[in-house]
Chains A and B, each alone.
Chain A
């Protein structure tokens, strides 16, 4: 038997590192829960104090059910004709096209001066602040303000809708432009290319897919806005007929038909946007 020379064996004690306590409740999780808790409390408070104008909810939901049935199961043209409604729908679409094209054109030129990699900081920051302010005011208020200046009708609707589109698109476009690598711009500048050629020959071709998809998103928003504006500002589009049918004649059959028309157009838009994006992404 071999004995150790020393009575006590010299074991090396493993040094236990100071491990941090691992907990599931990390800081982001705690903040997440706190935010949700606050929102939940506000919701409860709001639901308890909400003003229901003393109506009986059962009856109200019952009448809603009847109206929805009239809308979706028995749609008809009501006091207008197919011709009138289709013309109104095309007016809405034209309104959307106008505001989106005008907005996109103007927004692109503003976005060039709002992108941090192309323009001085003070200019970019000022324009960003102005655009944030315009964006924060709802579209419908812009339309109402312009209808007070220019009179009710299509002109005010187009200008008001375009205003908000510009502010929205400037943000999207300038962020797309800012994604262009600084090195590209510097290389072109160093070889003596001037400002506008840099934009149209180098930056624009590389961000076209992004621009296209943002513009299309805005097109969809503008269509919804055009319908809403028609109701409030009287631009003689489908929104106006929707407003009259539901608010004055209480003809829910006609409301149903108009909603079906709008749904049909929305589905077409969705299909186009899928095709367009697929096509463009494949090419690049």
Chain B
């Protein structure tokens, strides 16, 4: 094909029409969705500032709020350790699955497909479904929240670990095999030490994520900090609810900063 010469004017005109078409399509999709959801764009957006003002007026903790500090801190602590333990338990299991499922270390192709499919299934079942199914069998306890987070995390970490192992240099593994290392030596001395820091940083990310999800799971299963929030929120004790929001934000930010530090130290 002959290279076609486009003048700058033509180039910009073409680009403008292409952008215009894309925007028109997006606008059509947007309007269609607005119709389906029955969302009032302008009146809703106009209420955002009012909402923020309301938030800052009513959600400010006052002197009376300190009486709630005990239960709030206790539930926050429980939520934190449940998030950590569900992540770690899931990490141990997904490590095994990842070794079986990664292209570089998998014993055969059947395992690869099974692990991939299973992880995708676990990831795509919404956390609401997990919470409700588990709530029915395990009742209103911390353990329900633990399991719901555990299954979600298992799906995510298996995929992340598998990809991490596949990204490693295949030549190192070949070199190990060439000097006569057996399968287990390859995995434990070649693959795992190399992937350890990346995988740890995934684990840290999942812990952060689980704290946020724990609020939702708690709300649905009636445990932890999420339940406490909805209790205070529904009984219009907004000062206490505000305190919870503030403390969750502080916890998440502290956790984010810590894991950034750790990531930098182990890289």
Contact = CB atoms under 8 A, between A and B. Distances in A.
A275 B50 CA distance: 42
B98 to A, nearest CB: 16
B51 A227 contact: no
Interface in B149-180: none
A267 B34 CA distance: 24
Nearest to A200: B19
A52 B44 contact: no
Contact of A228 (B26, B85, B127): B127
B45 to A, nearest CB: 8
B203 A137 contact: no
A98 interface: yes
Interface stretch (A10-18, A175-183, A186-194, A255-263): A255-263
Find the residue from B32, B132, B229, B265 having the highest chain A CB count within 10 A.
B132
Contacts of A228: 126-128, 216
A28 interface: yes
A7 to B, nearest CB: 49
Nearest to A55: B139
Contacts of B252: 136-137
Interface in A225-284: 227-228, 231-232, 235, 239, 242-243, 246-247, 250, 252, 255, 258-259, 262-263, 266-267, 270
Interface stretch (B61-69, B104-112, B140-148): B140-148
B129 interface: yes
B124 interface: yes
A31 B258 CA distance: 13
Interface stretch (A74-82, A118-126, A151-159): A151-159
B200 A32 contact: yes
Given A138-B212, A146-B51, A53 B140 contact: yes
Find the residue from A46, A102, A132 having the highest chain B CB count within 10 A.
A46
The SS class assigned to the A binding surface is: helix
B82 interface: yes
B73 interface: no
A263 B197 CA distance: 32
A263 B266 contact: no
Contacts of A35: 200, 262, 266
B143 A155 contact: no
A138 B84 contact: no
B1 interface: no
Contacts of B60: none
B30 interface: yes
A24 to B, nearest CB: 9
Contact of B85 (A28, A46, A61): A46
B39 interface: yes
Nearest to A133: B249
Contact of B84 (A46, A90, A139): A46
A266 B15 CA distance: 32
B191 interface: no
Contacts of A2: none
Interface residues of A, number: 75
A145 B51 contact: yes
A149 B143 CA distance: 34
A227 B216 CA distance: 12
Given A51-B143, A95-B37, A39 B248 contact: no
B124 A97 contact: no
Nearest to B230: A144
A50 B82 contact: yes
Given A31-B266, A227-B126, A239-B128, A150 B44 contact: yes
Contacts of B203: 39
A139 B233 CA distance: 15
B82 A46 contact: yes
Interface string B182-202: 000000000000001100100
B38 interface: yes
Given A28-B267, A138-B248, A154-B37, A42 B84 contact: yes
B124 A266 contact: yes
A64 interface: yes
B55 interface: yes
Interface string B23-57: 00010011011101111110111011011001100
A210 to B, nearest CB: 17
Interface of B: 15, 26, 29-30, 32-34, 36-41, 43-45, 47-48, 50-51, 54-55, 59, 81-82, 84-85, 88-89, 120-121, 124-129, 132-143, 146, 196-197, 200, 203, 212-213, 215-216, 219-220, 226, 229-230, 233, 245, 248-249, 252-253, 256, 262, 265-267
Q: Ordered nearest first, which 10 A-B pairs have the shortest CB separation?
A: A246-B132, A53-B141, A94-B33, A46-B85, A136-B252, A94-B36, A46-B81, A43-B85, A266-B124, A149-B51
28 contacts: A31-B266, A32-B266, A35-B200, A35-B266, A39-B88, A42-B81, A46-B82, A50-B143, A52-B141, A53-B140, A91-B37, A95-B37, A97-B30, A97-B33, A137-B252, A141-B245, A149-B50, A150-B51, A155-B39, A155-B40, A159-B45, A227-B126, A228-B216, A246-B132, A246-B133, A246-B135, A246-B136, A267-B124
